[in-house]
């Protein structure tokens, strides 16, 4: 036997279009402070968040994903039939199986595209972009839809002082496909499982349901977070990862037009920008002020807004860096579509 036939894909991959869906309910700090004995001033000062978006019941994971994806497809000049793989990054699709991506692929009208979810929390979108670029270059797919989507309001304890003011809902999508020139740089990614417990679902579903020996709590296992160590890890370690992503792409901060970090906390964004010594003309995404932290959706939502407002232009060089529970992280340089 002379070996199996191998496939080869496109020489290069790029993001061809971006779309977004913002959950419709605007929730200002004033609406949540009483339950956590806080204030609008404290929340703005510590996190930069003025208001966040929460989903209404009809704004499901599937619905928000489909809306964001339609816009991304339009922007790419493609239709659902062109998509042969759908990757959904989420931690708030509360049906454990099947994957949200299968419903999204069907609702969109793809021709039975491969569809699966990935769980990398706030780092999920950048993981998806890295995988999509490799799928396109490796020949497994021609056009991949990468979606970051969350309904974190479903799993946030609105009485938890450490997290109630942070999380939010929404969806962002990007179409990744073949390109004549490199449009997605090498990914720098990793994890630090030693800090597994810093951001996590409070308890296992089995502890919620219980057993004959031990009654269950019957309470939604909300997301909990040790804010201070997460803050320190993100502010210091992630700037180094961001610089490494620039190095791997063969550029420096001076070549950068746009910086789109995960929208975790405005102070983390500022600390990273300082530590990376970003030149003052680099546009920095600050979507968190009005959107809150929407985990896997935060980077595509922030990038979409910059494109929409004309702050990021087609052909610009952008650095994406995503980090969160796990602790997992991923960063790459991309060309703005």
Rounded CA separation 105/263 (Å) = 27
Closer by beta carbon to ligand COA, 269 or else 307: 269
Rounded CA separation 325/254 (Å) = 31
Interaction between residue 201 and ligand COA (CB under 6 A): no
The count of chain residues that interact with ligand COA, using the rule CB under 6 A, is 20
- Which residue among the candidates 85, 262, 265, 304 is catalytic per the annotation? 262
What's the min distance (Å) between Cβ of 240 and ligand COA? 17
Rounded CA separation 136/82 (Å) = 13
Closer by beta carbon to ligand COA, 231 or else 259: 231
The answer to whether residues 186 and 332 touch, using CB atoms and an 8 Å cutoff, is: yes
Binding mask 282-321 for ligand COA (x = CB under 6 A): -----------x----------------------------
Rounded CA separation 123/75 (Å) = 24
Interaction between residue 223 and ligand COA (CB under 6 A): no
Interaction between residue 161 and ligand COA (CB under 6 A): yes
Our CA dihedral for 271, 276, 230, 327, rounded to 10 degrees, sits at 160
The answer to whether residue 85 is catalytic is: no
Interaction between residue 92 and ligand COA (CB under 6 A): no
The answer to whether residue 222 is catalytic is: no
- Select from 13, 23, 27, 47 the one that contacts ligand COA (CB under 6 A): 47
- Quick one: which segment of 21-29, 60-68, 162-170, 276-284 binds ligand COA (CB under 6 A)? 162-170
Interaction between residue 48 and ligand COA (CB under 6 A): no
The answer to whether residue 293 is catalytic is: yes
What are the two backbone dihedrals, phi and then psi, of residue 5, each rounded to the nearest 5 degrees?
A: -65, 135
The answer to whether residues 146 and 128 touch, using CB atoms and an 8 Å cutoff, is: yes
What's the min distance (Å) between Cβ of 148 and ligand COA? 13
- Select from 65, 90, 265, 332 the one that contacts ligand COA (CB under 6 A): 265
Our CA dihedral for 135, 252, 255, 236, rounded to 10 degrees, sits at 80
Per-residue b or e along 83-102, where b marks 16 or more CB atoms closer than 10 Å to that residue's CB? bbbbbbbbbbbeeeeebbbb
The answer to whether residues 262 and 284 touch, using CB atoms and an 8 Å cutoff, is: no
- Quick one: which segment of 62-70, 91-99, 144-152, 261-269 binds ligand COA (CB under 6 A)? 261-269
Interaction between residue 124 and ligand COA (CB under 6 A): no
The answer to whether residues 145 and 118 touch, using CB atoms and an 8 Å cutoff, is: no
Interaction between residue 28 and ligand COA (CB under 6 A): no
Rounded CA separation 260/110 (Å) = 29
The answer to whether residues 54 and 73 touch, using CB atoms and an 8 Å cutoff, is: no
Interacting residues with ligand COA (CB under 6 A): 36, 38, 42, 46-47, 122, 161-162, 165-166, 225, 227-228, 230-231, 264-265, 268, 293, 324
By annotation, the residues acting in catalysis are: 122, 262, 293
């Amino acid at each position: 036997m002379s070996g199996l036939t191998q496939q080869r894909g496109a020489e290069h991959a790029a993001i061809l279009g971006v779309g977004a869906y913002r959950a419709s309910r605007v929730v200002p700090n004033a609406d949540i402070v009483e339950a956590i004995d806080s204030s609008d001033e404290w929340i703005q000062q510590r996190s930069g968040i003025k208001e966040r978006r929460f989903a209404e019941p009809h704004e499901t994971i599937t619905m928000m994903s489909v809306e964001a994806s339609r816009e991304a497809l339009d922007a790419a000049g493609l239709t659902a039939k062109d998509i042969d793989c759908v990757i959904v990054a989420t931690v708030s699709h509360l049906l454990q199986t099947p994957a949200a991506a299968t419903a999204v692929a069907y609702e969109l009208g793809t021709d039975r595209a491969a569809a699966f979810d990935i769980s990398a929390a706030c780092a999920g979108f950048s993981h998806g972009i890295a995988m999509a670029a490799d799928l396109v270059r490796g020949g497994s797919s021609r056009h991949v839809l990468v979606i970051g989507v969350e309904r974190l309001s479903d799993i946030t304890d609105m009485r938890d002082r450490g997290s109630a003011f942070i999380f939010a809902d929404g969806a962002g999508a990007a179409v990744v496909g073949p390109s004549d020139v490199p449009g997605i740089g090498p990914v720098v990614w990793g994890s630090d499982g030693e800090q597994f417990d810093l951001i996590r679902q409070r308890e296992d579903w089995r502890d919620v349901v219980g057993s004959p020996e031990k009654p269950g709590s019957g309470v939604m296992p909300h997301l909990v977070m040790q804010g201070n160590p997460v803050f320190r890890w993100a502010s210091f370690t992630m700037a180094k990862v961001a610089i490494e992503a620039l190095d791997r792409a063969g550029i420096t901060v001076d070549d950068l037009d746009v910086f789109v970090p995960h929208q975790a906390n405005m102070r983390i964004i500022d600390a990273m920008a300082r530590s990376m010594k970003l030149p003052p003309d680099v546009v920095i995404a600050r979507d968190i002020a009005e959107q809150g932290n929407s985990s896997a959706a935060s980077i595509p939502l922030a990038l979409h807004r910059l494109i929409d407002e004309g702050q990021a232009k087609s052909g610009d060089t952008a650095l994406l860096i995503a980090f969160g529970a796990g602790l997992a992280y991923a960063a790459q340089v991309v060309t703005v579509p």
